[in-house]
Amino acid sequence: MTDLTSLTIAEARTQLKSGAISSVDLTEAYVRAIEAANETLNVYVAVTADQAMDMAAASDRRIAAGEAGALEGIPLGIKDLFATRDVHTQACSRILDGFRPRYESTVSQNLWDDGAVMLGKLNMDEFAMGSSNENSCYGPVKNPWRAQGSNRDLVPGGSSGGSSAAVAARLCAGATASDTGGSIRQPAAFTATVGIKPTYGRCSRFGMVAFASSLDQAGPIARDVRDAAILLQSMASVDPCDTTSADRPIPDYESAVGRSIKGMKIGIPAEYRIDGMPADIEALWQSGIEWMRDAGAEIVDISLPHTQYALATYYIVAPAEASSNLARYDGVRYGLRVPGKDIVDMYEKTRAAGFGAEVKRRILIGTYVLSAGYCDAYYIRAQRVRSLIKRDFENVFAMGIDAILTPATPSAAFPIGDEAMAADPVKMYLNDVFTVTVNMAGLPGIAVPAGLDGSGLPLGLQLIGRPFDEETLFQAGHVIEAQAGRFMPTRWW
């Protein structure tokens, strides 16, 4: 019998409906896989095995009664950023120690309403601040991939490193993730998985622990493009609890997979050819261009002139919003509390003990750029530049461009504890150089595995789409997937 954890969501869905397998058997296979691997990979920070088996049994009953939902019986992992009722929700931060919400995030509730099964909560960078998953209070996640001939542990990307590693290591059928500046697409590229950041407003933010409210967006990480489409179909919704969620029809995303892209115009932005780009990345990008051309798309050179300011702008806007959002964590109502001689002393001690170094760094940056005397020079100016970045995309799409093809990351996965990254935070921030523009403009973007570098590590390509046109991304992303093939790490854990 085929290893049940090797089934994609689409394959498992078919076998569940036909009665060839049961959700209880499928879920049990994942629980056993997690028990065997989690101590090594550190992807789950809470495993809800008993709850998962109960949910699976309920799914089997609904399937037998002909009442199966769109994700009936499919076991998923949930990023620790999403509130799950009466289950550990900590955003991998000490300051939320012991927090078990009395409510469910809208995204996870949508999944449960469609019959999905929760395996547990996935590791992440604290408060989603990071590009390597080394900032978690639970320690770093290990990438299931290793370079050829090396046993050195690599990062899985961040902040959704637990989600990407769990999917790559077959420790869940799919996972929820979130993307503020690339936190879905970068870890997907590092682990040979598919990750889509939908248009801002496509998925509700209710019940997501906030980082930067004008940039945060939920999305899935999956094994292939079809599975990503299936997951987003269930995750997306309008929500009265989130006034920024869009009241727009949700298309049948899965039907776009495999559709011809003949006649599409694919834009290639000159500004993404950065100095010092590795030859592997440049060659991969060129391969992607040829795949699009061979599939009947027209390749068009385009310009996004304000791209050069995007990273600096992002690292003003995002920390500013973070400093505001994280002010609520004071030790008074929930989570960690460190006693002090008075309430101010208690605030200071709680935050000093509860926040990690990267979170403190971003709070300090954000507080500074919002402070009197500096707000106009930094934050207000950054918002103006953000408008120009958004206008660049609007101008390109007005030319008839259907999607934009770029690299997903400037390199493959790097080692855990990389000294250069640790010594210079800006080097770490540069991992987001190809992804932050999408969040600044509120656009959808997908990362699809496209090849391996010289040391056998996965690399991804990114497609950027028009607002609320995720269908085109699934359509074009499948072309990359069909041409590049699929990639799996060699098991060592």
79 is catalytic: yes
How many CA within 13 A on the CB side of residue 418? 17
Residues 446 and 228: beta-carbon distance below 8 Å: yes
Is 159 one of the annotated active-site residues of the chain? yes
Both structure tokens of 377: 């020079």
**C-alpha 146 chain-centroid distance:** 21
| Straight-line distance from the first to the last Cα atom of the chain, in angstroms, rounded to the nearest whole number | 22
Look-up of token digits 């309920």: 58
Catalytic residue among 23, 108, 159, 160: 159
Task: Please give the angle made by the CA atoms of 259, 409 and 254, to the nearest 5 degrees.
Answer: 20
Active site residue 303: no
Q: What is the DSSP code string of 404-415?
A: EEEES-SSS--B
| DSSP assignment of 210-271 | PS-TTT-EEEEEESSHHHHHHHHHHH---BTTBTTS-------GGGGTT---TT-EEEEEGG
Return the residue matching tokens 């099964």: 117
Q: Catalytic one among 22, 23, 79, 108?
A: 79
Q: Which two tokens stand for residue 149?
A: 């001939």
Please list the residues that pair with 299 across neighbouring strands.
Answer: 266
| Burial classification of residue 373, based on how many CB atoms lie within 10 Å of its CB (0-12 exposed, 13-18 middle, 19 or more buried) | exposed
Token duo for residue 391: 């206008």
Rounded CA separation 202/249 (Å): 10
Cα distances (angstroms) measured from residue 416 to each of 38, 96, 158, 200, 393: 17, 25, 12, 31, 35
What interhelical angle do 49-64 and 9-18 show, nearest 10? Answer: 50
Catalytic residue, candidates 183, 234, 237, 323: 183
Distance between CA atoms of residues 4 and 28, nearest Å: 9
Give the angle 68-83-79 at the CA atoms, nearest 5°: 80
What are the CA-CA distances from residue 371 to residues 317, 344, 364, 377, 420 (Å)?
A: 13, 20, 10, 10, 31
Quote the CA–CA distance of 459 and 407 in Å, as a whole number.
8
CA atoms of 210 and 355, how far apart (whole Å): 15
Contacts of 446 (CB under 8 A, 6+ apart): 185, 194, 195, 196, 197, 225, 228, 462, 463, 465, 470, 473, 474, 477
Q: Which residues are catalytic?
A: 79, 159, 183
